[in-house]
Amino acid sequence: MNELLNKFKALQDLHLNIDMTRGKPCKEQLDLSMPMMDVLNSKAELKDSEGFDCRNYGKLDGLKECKKLLADMIEVDDENIIIFGNSSLHVMYECLADSFLYGVLGNTPWSKLDHIKWLCPVPGYDRHFAMCEALGIEMINIPMDSKGPDMDLIEKYIKDPSVKGIWCVPKYSNPDGTTYSEAVVKRFARLKPAAPDFRIYWDNAYSVHHLYEKDQDFLLEIINECKRVGNPDLVYKFTSTSKISFPGSGIAALAASPNNIASIKEHLKYKTIGYDKVNQLRHVRFFKDLNGVKEQMRKHADILRPKFELVNEMLEKELKGIATWTKPKGGYFVSLYVDGKAKEVIDKCKTCGVKLTEAGCAYPYHKDPSNAHIRIAPSYLSLDEIKLAMEVICLAVKIEMAK
Amino acid sequence: MNELLNKFKALQDLHLNIDMTRGKPCKEQLDLSMPMMDVLNSKAELKDSEGFDCRNYGKLDGLKECKKLLADMIEVDDENIIIFGNSSLHVMYECLADSFLYGVLGNTPWSKLDHIKWLCPVPGYDRHFAMCEALGIEMINIPMDSKGPDMDLIEKYIKDPSVKGIWCVPKYSNPDGTTYSEAVVKRFARLKPAAPDFRIYWDNAYSVHHLYEKDQDFLLEIINECKRVGNPDLVYKFTSTSKISFPGSGIAALAASPNNIASIKEHLKYKTIGYDKVNQLRHVRFFKDLNGVKEQMRKHADILRPKFELVNEMLEKELKGIATWTKPKGGYFVSLYVDGKAKEVIDKCKTCGVKLTEAGCAYPYHKDPSNAHIRIAPSYLSLDEIKLAMEVICLAVKIEMAK
C-alpha cells in the first residue's frame, strides 16, 4: 500500500489538470469538418433540389435532401422524418413537453395526470435523466447487461398505466457501449404497454459511430420492426450529426410513424416557421450521401480508436482481477466498475487533477445503487493525457480497492 | 359599377399569380447577406474572444460577443441576454411552455390552473395568437390606436389574476406599423398586475427596421424603464436577426431582468447543451458591431422603401375617401381598413390571382370584429408585382364598398 500511495503522491506532484467529464470530440475530429465551411460561399446557389431558396422562411419539416441523408443514416423511410435544429436533446425535450402540454395522439396531457413514471436502463445518459427530473417524472432503474436492458422487468413495469416511456441508447450505449441484441429489439417492438401513450425514446446517437469498420455491432431497425408487428406508433427515434460534423452546429432529426409525425408537426407549426435550412444545405452539400457520412466516420474512428485501445490496454495491464470494464466497438465512453468504491475513486482522482464525471452521474437522481460506476470519456483528450489520466485512475482504484 | 367590373374582368384575364400573404424578405434583401457566407471558411479560426472553440459543445447562453451585438441592437445590458437558436418565435413559445410546466419565478405552473387569459392588442401578429390558441389560452382583444394599445383597458383587465400576459410588437408593429408612444411604454412599465406571474411579451422584431434613416420612430427602452420604476421582472424582450441576415438562419435572443434570465437558464440547461455558436460567430464576424447592423439595415431600407411608397401612392390615388390605411415608417406591413368588407375584398382578389392573408388573420381566433382589416405585405414582391396587386386590391375595394 505504501508503494501505491507514494506513486500517487508522485502523480499529484505533477499538478495535472485533465478534464475527462464529457464525451466531446477533440480538435482533430472537429478539423475533419472544416471543409464543410467552404461548400456554401457567397457565390453558391442556396436553392434546394426543389428550387426553394433556403435563405428564406419556410419548409417547417426540413429540406427533402436533408431528410433523405438523415433517414438513410438511421435506416428509416424519408417520408417519416422531421429535420430540427442543432440538438437532438432539444427534440427529445420537446417531445416530452408536448406530451405534458397536449397529450400523445389524443390521450390526456400528462400535466393533467397525478404521476408519470419512466423506465431508465442503467447506467445511462445523465442528460436524459436530468430532463425527467426537471419535469417531475419518477424514474425507475432497469438494469442492463451485454444484450441490453432487462426485458422481463420492462414487460412487468409497463403493465402500470402511469409508466409512459423509456430511454434507450440502443447502439454503443452511453456509457457502457452496449448494442441491444436482435432479440431485445424484437421484444421492444412487441411491447404492449397498458398506457396507450407509452413511447420508447430511442436515442440513436451513435448509429454510425463505429471504432472498427469491419467489426461493427448490428442493431435491428426498430421503426420497421414495430410496423411489421402491428405496433407502429410505439417509438420515437432520434438522431443528430453532433458527433459527425460539429457539436452544436449540426442537425438533429426525429423519425416515427406517420401518425406520430403528423401529430408532432401539428404542434411544431405553432413553435417556429422553420429550422436552419442553410445549415441543412451545407451538410447535404458536404456529405452528399450516406457514403460521405461513412467516409467521415472512418476518419473519426481513426482518431478515436487508439484512444479507446489505450484505455483498454491500461485497464488490462493495471486492473485485471481488481475491477471490470466495458470494451465498446463504438460510441464515446468506457464504463469502469469498482464495486462500492466509485465515489471514493472519483474523489481521489480529483485530488490528482483528473476530473471525472461525478459519481452516480449515469443513474437517475445521481444514485448508483452499487457505488460502482465510473464513466471514462477518452475522446477529447490526447493520447498523452489519456495515459496520465488512466495512470491516476488505475492507481486510485488499486488504493481504494485495497482499503 | 359596370366600368369597375369590366376593369376587374380585364385584370382577371391577366391570370396573375401573386402571393402577398407573408412578410418575407425578397431575393435582393437576402443577397445583402451573402458576403456573410465567406467570413467563416475552412481556414478561419473558429474561436471566440474568450478562446473557446465554437465548433464544440458548450456556452449554453451564447458567445459573449454575440450577446454584446444583440444587446446593443435592442438597447439592453449584455449581462441580461440569452442567445438562442434561429427563431425568436420559438423562444416565445418556450417561455410560454416553461410557464405552463414550471411556473414563473416560483408561482404555480399554469398547467395546474383552470384558466389562463392573455391580452392581445389588435390587429396583431397571427403567429402570436395561434400559439395562445394551441395552448388553450383565452385571448382578449385590446384595440390599438396610433399611440399603441388602449392602456386604460389593459389596466382594467390586469386586475384579473387569471390574466397572465400580453403580446406587444412595440415598434413598427405587425401589421399596423405603429410604434408605442413614450407615455404608453411608461404606463406599461408601471403596470401592477394582480398576477405576480404576469409578463409582457415584448416582441421587438423590428427594432432597427426603419424605412427612413432620418425619420425614425423612437421607442422608449422598456427593460430599463421597468427597472427604474421598481418593476424589473415584468417584461420578456425578444429579438432576432431574421429580417437582418437570413430568415431561418439568423440568431434569436431574449433579454430580461437578472431574476428572469437566471430562471430561464435554469430550465434551458435541461433542454440543450447549447445553440449554434458557429452561426453566432458568423454573424459577429460579418456585422462586427451595431454600426454594421445599421449599415445593413440602410441597404434593406433602400430596397423596401420604394415598395412601401408605391403601396401608399396607389392607395392615395385610388382609395382616398373610400378606405383608410397606415403609413408605417418601418416594419413589414401596411394595414388597409375597409369597414365590413375585408373578407369580401380578400375573396375577390383571390379570384384575380392575388393571394392575401385570410380575413381576420390579425385577430385572435381569426375574428376581425369589424371585418375591416386587410394586411398588405409588399416586401417579397417586385415593384411591378406590387403595382398589379395594388390595382387588383384597390379595384376590389371600390367594387365591394360600392355594393
CB < 8 Å to B135, chain A: 101
pLDDT of residue A1: 85
Average pLDDT over every residue of A306-335 = 98
Domain that holds residue B197: 64-287
Amino acid letter for position B275: Y
- pLDDT (tens digit, 9 = 90+) per residue, A186-204? 999 999 999 999 999 999 9
Does any CB of chain A come closer than 8 Å to the CB of residue B285? no
From residue A397, give the alpha-carbon distance in Å to each of A315, A383, B92.
Answer: 10, 21, 49
Residue of A nearest to B135 (CA): A101
Residues of A in contact with B38 (CB under 8 A): 41-42
Candidate from A22, A55, A273 with C-beta closest to B30: A55
Query: In this complex, which of A37, A101, A274 lies closest to B100 when CB atoms are compared?
Result: A101
Residue A228 located in a structural domain? yes
Q: What average pLDDT score do residues A165-171 get?
A: 98
Cell of A32: 475533419
* B226 plus B359 within the same structural domain: no
- List b or e across A198-230, with b for residues whose CB sees 16 or more CB atoms inside 10 angstroms: bbbbbbbbbbbbbbeeeebbebbbbbebbbeee
B346 Cα to chain A: minimum distance (Å) = 23
- Residues A302 and A268 occupy one common structural domain: no
Cell of A379: 475522446
A351 touches chain B (CB under 8 A): no
b/e string for B1-15 if b means 16 or more Cβ within 10 A?
eeeeeeebeebeeee
Q: How far is A164 from chain B, CA to nearest CA, in Å?
A: 17
User: What percent of chain A has a predicted confidence (pLDDT) above 90?
Assistant: 99
Closest CA to B162 of B194, B191, B199: B194
Q: What would the grid cell of residue A63 be?
A: 429540406
A29-44 pLDDT per residue, tens: 999 999 999 999 999 9
- Considering the domain architecture, whether residues B336 and B384 belong to the same structural domain is answered as yes
The SS3 of residue A6 is: helix
| Residue A68 φ/ψ, nearest 5 degrees | -60, -45
**Closest residue on chain A to B130 (Cα):** A270
To the nearest whole Å, the CA of A58 is away from the closest chain B CA by: 8
Over chain B, what is the mean pLDDT?
A: 97
Residues in A touching B114 (Cβ below 8 Å)? none
> CATH no. for residue B377?
3.90.1150.10
Nearest to B56 among A87, A247, A277 (CB): A247
Q: What is the tally of structural domains in chain B? A: 2
Q: Are B232 and B154 in a shared domain?
A: yes
Nearest to B270 among A24, A93, A246 (CB): A93
Identify whether residues A298 and A281 lie together within a single domain.
no
Say if A265 is an interface residue toward chain B (CB within 8 Å).
Answer: no
Q: Is there a domain that residue A42 lies in?
A: no
Residue B301 near residue B210 (C-beta atoms within 8 A): yes
Q: Is residue A300, in this structure, part of any structural domain at all?
A: yes
CA-CA distance, B226 to B190, in Å (whole number)? 7
Candidates B25, B31, B84, B33; CA nearest to B245 is B33
Chain A interface, best mutation among B272, B277, B285, B380, by max A CB count within 10 A:
B272
Instruction: Give domain status of residue B85, yes or no.
Output: yes
The answer to whether residues A81 and A202 belong to one domain is yes
* pLDDT of B124 above 90: yes
Q: Which of B27, B55, B101 sits opposite A249 (nearest CB)?
A: B55
Is A84 among the domain residues?
yes
For residues A140 and A262, state if they share a domain. Answer: yes
User: Element (H or E) spanning B239, and its range?
Assistant: strand B235-240
* A108 in contact with chain B, both atoms CB, cutoff 8 A: no
Sheet with B199-203, strands from edge to edge, namely: B81-83, B252-255, B235-240, B199-203, B163-168, B117-122, B138-145, B148-149
The cell numbers describing B145, all together, are: 390606436
Mean pLDDT of B379-398: 98
Question: Does residue B28 lie in a domain region?
Answer: no
Q: B19 — contact with chain A (CB < 8 Å)?
A: no
Closest CA–CA distance from residue B47 to any residue of chain A (Å):
12
Domain boundary among A287, A306, A340: A287
* Domain assignment of residue B334, yes or no: yes
Say how many CA atoms lie within 13 Å of A352 toward its Cβ. 27
My answer on whether A331 and A395 are in the same domain is yes
So what's the pLDDT on residue B101? 98
Which CATH number do you get for residue A153?
Answer: 3.40.640.10
CB–CB of A86 and B276 under 8 A? Answer: yes
**Which residues on B lie below 8 Å from A252 (Cβ)?**
none
Does residue A311 sit in the same domain as residue A252? no
CB contact under 8 A, A87 and B272: yes
Whether residue A55 lies inside any domain: the answer is no
Same domain, B279 and B378: no
- Encode pLDDT of B265-313 as tens digits: 999 999 999 999 999 999 999 999 999 999 999 999 999 999 999 999 9
* Residue B340 sits in the same domain as residue B396: yes
Asked if residues A16 and A374 have their Cβ atoms less than 8 Å apart, the reply is no
CB-nearest to A90 from B42, B54, B272 is B272
Q: How many CB pairs under 8 A join A and B?
A: 164
Do residues A177 and A219 share a domain?
yes
- Measured in angstroms, the CA of A126 and the nearest CA of chain B are apart by 10
Helix ranges (DSSP H) in A123-249: 126-134, 151-157, 182-189, 222-228
Domain finish residue from A239, A270, A287: A287
Please, which pLDDT band fits residue A379 given cuts at 50, 70 and 90? very high
The pLDDT of residue B114? 94
Binding-face residues of A in 49-88 toward B, CB within 8 A: 53-58, 85-87
Please state the rounded mean pLDDT for residues A71-81: 96
Task: Give the domain-ending residue among A287, A322, A345.
Answer: A287
pLDDT in tens, A292-302: 999 999 999 99
